[in-house]
Structure 1
Amino acid sequence: MKRALVPNETLANALGANELARELQVRGHEVVRTGGFGLAWLEPMLVIDGKAYGPVQDLDALDAVALGPLAELPELVRQQRIVFDRCGHIDPLDYDPGWLLEQLEREPREIIEEIKASGLRGRGGAGFPAHIKWQTVFDTPAPQKYIVVNADEGDSGTFADRLIMEGDPFRLIEGMMISGHATGADKGIVYLRSEYPLAAEIFANAMDKSRALGLLERFDIELFIGAGAYICGEETSMLESLEGKRGEVRFKPPVPAVAGLFGQPTLVHNVITLCSVPGILDMGGKAYAEIGTGASTGTSTFQLAGNVKRGGLYELPFGISLRELVEDWGGGTRTGRPFGAVQVGGPLGAYLFERHLDTPLGYEDMAALDAGIGHGGLVVFDDTIDLVQQAHYAFAFCAHESCGKCTPCRIGSVRGKEAVAALASGEYTEDRLEVIDELCDLMEQTSLCQMGGMTPIPVRSALGEALSRKGEVN
């Protein structure tokens, strides 16, 4: 009898992993359902007695898709997995709480100092130093404090939150419980997007096991399923939704760390930020800070999608160049055509081009290009990309997903969509371009949140390049 690791993960299941697991059981093998490794182009990927195979379609033709020993697989060995070190190797619900219980004996101030020493910054987009939020919640007196996890992973081309919640849910529970202990919070809520039913099921089972182990006696966790609004990825809009209200952004200040959920101090982090905490405490904050580049410390879970040969999740130190990620790890475009552009950081991220490919992926380096890393998603395009159409899509996306609370976002996005549509029909007039530029200025400067404030980023990067190329042709 052989031991087979079969991913119980959304993508792998869509490609036949459930059927393969059943067939292996029929053949008498021991089957362990694990999370995925994040190597999307190899799914469904099986590990049988330590040897990897993928993508597997036929159990009788494994030799044709043999990848060699899992421990030597270059696509995994070359990564520096801190958040995802267990994912794919374990049964997600097989958990020993010994290490976690040791961490919960540490002094809260000591834990916050480790987070400060690590240089950990939010992995959800803004890159705000995590320890400042922790210290603020710790210092704010209140009868109730909360840990709220933003798992509303709505950016196009991102799937890190889903992978970790399906493949290693206790990593998130560890991060939540440690942050709760450090800040004085005794209630945690995970706000999960409704499009992730398998992640919801596995995480709910992990919560049940945590209760059975006695872990949630002093810190309780609730799973809240969102309603599918992109704007609820913004922290204050998410808090409104959790309170049973319409998902609209709040005025700041006060910040959530002072007055968040139900007016109480609330530590809001995204999934990967909190899942970085166990690794930091395990290796020490200073050691973690030595990974990466400059003020961009540690690893990022880069997610490659779009027109790329080897799409998937790659956990790598900050500082890797776009070229390395797209060409070396991603293998270039799937169509075989020349590289055209890559949008970094989701639908509100900048489009970057060939001349930008040697830029290191770090917060400061990307900011110098008027770009950002966001949640780590990168969507690749070949040279057939229609940049004017992409600018139109940015405005259209904003118009569709705007909460409507502020006029610059609600109306500006619609007017911008109309103006770019005119450009697409060939009306490249100075007046038209001036209107778009003024709209972008207005949205950047006066929108209540980053939904309207960041929409000009993809618009300007795409249109600027399109106009430059048009000038070269003319």
Structure 2
Amino acid sequence: MTVAAHDGGQDETSQPSAHGDADPQKLLSPVLSAHWDEPDSYTLAGYRRHGGYQALPKALAMDPDDLIAYVKEAGLRGRGGAGFPTGMKWQFIPQGDGKPHYLVVNADESEPGTCKDIPLLFANPHSLIEGIAIACHAIRSSHAFIYLRGEVVPVLRRLQLAAKEAQEAGYLGPDALGPGKDLTLTVHAGAGAYICGEETALLDSLEGRRGQPRLRPPFPAVAGLYACPTVVNNVESIASVPALIDRGKDWFRSMGSEKSPGFTLYSLSGHVARPGQYEAPLGVTLRQLLDMSGGMRPGHRLKFWTPGGSSTPLLTDEHLDVALDYEGVGSAGSMLGTKALQCFDETTCVVRAVTRWTEFYAHESCGKCTPCREGTYWLVQLLRDIEAGKAQAADLEKIADIADNINGKSFCALGDGAASPIFSSLKFFREEYEAHLGGRGCPFDPEKSTAWAANPHSAHLEVNA
């Protein structure tokens, strides 16, 4: 796992440069990941040693509405995918309604290629707990939940240990948020359903029902968990709050771009020399991250990549210099999502990769709506035929048509995520799909004699190690 070594302060070197940097490592801004390599980073003592829980008293001294306004002014955006402003989501909670208010942290990290929240929770769980206490003060909540992906048992144990330490130290429990203001934290382990990453399906699962998306409105801010006002935030969103409060909104805004300020975790994986977590200001480019990670594996070239996991439209080597913030990636035709940068070299068959992703979405569809339930099934059948060389040219139009009937027409965003790699791969690699047709099969099969290097799309930029 790769993290940065310096503190990411307000110096100019922490800003991404469009023209590179003599020392690429200076582009990194370790905050959440600054001390992951220390053996006791997950303990209360380790967290306190580096200023942990200094932000909480500052936040508790503020009026809840002023605290929400402060987070809004800082520009913190949700780190779970859509990039919705965190402070604005807190502000949606109605006040004076006489109902309990709940904070739910979405730790059901399931997106293929996404691997930032789990290592964050494993190495630095107290940053999340401190952030939870601050957020609960802001929305006037006395009960918070962490919905964790149940397969990661070591993370579950560390979260439970951290919650126990925080309780014993008075950061949770009776009077944790001030005299008469208690705070209860419940760590809940899910059962591994991808659909429970969708916030309303997560709420249904927390209530003991089958995880399926709810019809909206009403939205969770009005009728969420147990039909009460609820905020659902991503792990990284809440864990970023303590540093923001402790060091100030001006420090936070000194990183990133005007509309996407701050630091964030980029998960670099795939055919790269040194995969890992790279914490940098929003707006860094993939080229810069590859420079830091040693480039693609020796002797190979970048072919395509995903900016935010497999549910975001894939990009190519033409997009190496796209700013990795919400606006930059959006203008390139994709979404920043969870910042899961999966990089694939020229040995990868696009059709095979998209088929595997689509199989995942078909398997994880909850079956509630027809477009997703039926559409993902038929996409898998057609893609398998294309990969095996059993399809004809008309089948390419058919998968595009089915994807179009799913996109924007399914009950939740799972359908859109399944359609995204279909559209984008056909846009950039249609010739590769066509090379599979008419009994030819996959040109990347070692038994085939097809020389794929002759295809124009194989001439991808080589990133030197």
TM-score range normalised by the length of the shorter chain: 0.7 to 0.9
The residue type paired with residue 79 of structure 1 is L
TM-score (norm 1): 0.81
**Deviation for aligned residue 1:467:** 1.1
| Partner SS state of residue 455, structure 1 | helix
1:330-378 Cα deviation digits (max 9, x unpaired):
2222253111211221121222111111111111111122211211211
Distance 2:70 2:339 in 1: 24
Instruction: Tell me which moved more, 300-309 or 285-294.
Output: 285-294
1:302 partner SS: strand
Find the counterpart in structure 1 of residue 121 from structure 2: 165
- Contact 2:94–2:222 (CA<8 Å) still a contact in 1? no
User: Partner residue of 1:225?
Assistant: 189
Aligned to 2:449: none
Shift of 1:428: 5.9
Match of 2:252 among 288, 301, 307: 288
Greater shift after overlay, 241-250 or 291-300?
291-300
Larger RCO (alpha carbons 8 Å, 6+ apart): 2
Q: Which residue of 1 aligns with 2:261?
A: 297
Report matched runs for 1:372-387 at 5 Å. Answer: 372-387=335-350
Q: Which amino acid aligns with 1:226?
A: G
Q: Is the 8 A contact 2:106 2:234 kept in 1?
A: yes
Gaps of 5+ in 1: 1-37, 43-73
TM-score, normalising length from structure 2?
0.82
1:409-456 Cα offsets, whole Å, 9 max, x none, are: 010001111122232233564532222122111111210111012211
Greater strand percent: which structure?
1
Q: Is the aligned partner of 1:113 residue 2:69? A: yes
Q: Which moved more, 1:82-91 or 1:164-173?
A: 82-91
The number of equivalent residue pairs is: 405
Of 397, 402, 424 in structure 1, the residue corresponding to residue 365 of structure 2 is 402
Does structure 1 residue 92 correspond to structure 2 residue 42?
A: yes
C-alpha offsets along residues 269-293 of structure 1, whole Å, 9 cap, x if unaligned? 0100001111111222233123112
Tell me: CA distance 1:276–1:99, structure 2 relative to 1, closer, same or farther (3 Å).
closer
Moved more, 246-255 or 135-144: 135-144
Q: Equivalents in 2 of 1:179, 1:197: separation in Å?
A: 26
Q: Is 1:258 aligned to 2:209, yes or no?
A: no
SS in structure 1 opposite 2:314?
strand
Q: Does 1:316 align with 2:303?
A: no
* In the alignment, structure 1 residue 415 sits paired with structure 2 residue 378: yes
Partner residue, 2:212: 248
Identical amino acids, percent of aligned pairs: 35
Measured in 1, the distance between the counterparts of 2:318 and 2:120 equals 34
CA RMSD of aligned residues (A): 2.3
Q: Does the alignment pair 1:456 with 2:405?
A: no
Given the alignment of the two structures, is residue 347 of structure 1 paired with residue 296 of structure 2, yes or no? no
Q: How far did 1:473 drift? A: 4.5
Determine if contact 1:117/1:286 at 8 Å carries over to the other structure.
Answer: no
**Unaligned segments of structure 2, at least 5 residues:** 5-22, 175-181, 436-453, 457-465
CA change 1:287–1:303 in 2 (3 A) is: same
Contact 2:147 2:188 in 1 (8 A): yes
C-alpha spacing 1:246/1:354, structure 2 compared with 1 (3 Å): same
Residues 1:117 and 1:467: Cα distance change in structure 2 (over 3 Å):
same
Q: Which amino acid in 2 is paired with 1:315?
A: E
Question: 2: distance between equivalents of 1:420 and 1:297?
Answer: 40
